[in-house]
Amino acid sequence: MSVIEMKSIKREYRMETKKSRKKQSEAIIVRALRGLDFSAEQGEFVSVMGPSGSGKSTLMNILGCLDKPTSGTYALDGIETSSSNANTFAFIRNRKIGFVFQSFNLLARTTALENVELPLFYRQKDKKDMKQKSNLSRKERAMAALKEVGLENRMDHYPSQLSGGQQQRVAIARAMVNDPAFILADEPTGNLDTGMTLEIMGLFQQLNDRGKTIVMVTHEPELAAYTKRIITLRDGSLVSDTLVENRGNALADLAKWKNDHALLAEDL
């Protein structure tokens, strides 16, 4: 069973414009996605690329169950989302998808641990879950997720007491704590410097090696080169879908980068 199965996805925005003279309203249809087929299996690591306006954000919103397509079908982990009611739609969003944004989106007055615990509060409301209640407490699950991103010694820090890369690690732990079907990352390193970017890409590669499915929007080919597959959109259509050959190793590149920097510092 595919984690993601999209068929003939169209998303049209209807724009009402007023004609100034006759004051007649006229509708313009913007075709942001023009019948897109896209599937991903468990364990894939996919980059979504394409020029500005090509439909990446529109696709991300639909993938993330933040928006529904105008037509077409989207099954996530075998659940058909397009025909689901508002409750099911929200349930799928909260439980099946781990979001990672460019801006981290952490709560400022809340520790790293509490930030990661947050998605588990939604979970409690879910009856099925109460029945098969896991033995681990909320706190233990959040601690395990933080450990997985290498932040076990920063649990009580507030976001302002963490580096940008560490904040993004907290956000990734939060995205993972519910054990989602896939991680959806929107330019996750857009606000980070080279070193932190490589750290985060290395972490994604590690998580992916352990079986996590990841879909990531990026503008940068160097980052897409760390993923396994690249899909490219243009004018709302999927124009290419290729496997990455000679995939980069972000942690190896990070070590090399650090080494070069140390040499540079010695020279000064």
Ligand X SMILES: Nc1ncnc2c1ncn2[C@@H]1O[C@H](COP(=O)(O)OP(=O)(O)OP(=O)(O)O)[C@@H](O)[C@H]1O
CA distance 179 to 67: 22
Q: Which of 5, 44, 46, 55 binds ligand X (CB under 6 A)?
A: 55
Q: How far is the CB of 233 from Mg ion (least distance, A)?
A: 10
**Which residue, 57 or 84, has its beta carbon nearer to ligand X?**
57
Pick from 4, 6, 9, 32: which binds ligand X (CB under 6 A)?
32
Alpha carbons within 13 A on the beta-carbon side of 69: 27
Selected range binding ligand X among 55-63, 126-134, 155-163, 254-262, rule: CB under 6 A: 55-63
Q: Which partner in Mg ion, ligand X, none is near 50 (CB below 5 to 8 A by kind)?
A: ligand X
Residue 232 touches ligand X, criterion: CB under 6 A: no
29 lines the binding site for ligand X (CB under 6 A): no
Element (H, E) at 261: helix 250-267
Q: Is 203 left (phi over 0), alpha (psi -120 to 50) or beta?
A: alpha
50 binds ligand X (CB under 6 A): yes
Figure out which of the listed residues 2, 42, 57, 191 binds Mg ion, where binding follows CB under 5 A: 57
- Which neighbouring-strand residues pair with 230? 47, 242
Q: Which of 58, 81, 167, 197 binds ligand X (CB under 6 A)?
A: 58
- Name residues whose C-beta falls within 8 Å of residue 9's C-beta, 6 or more positions apart in sequence: 33, 35, 36, 37, 38, 59, 62, 69, 71, 72, 73, 74
Compare residues 56 and 95 and give the one whose CB is closer to Mg ion: 56
The CA distance from 75 to 39, in Å, is: 9
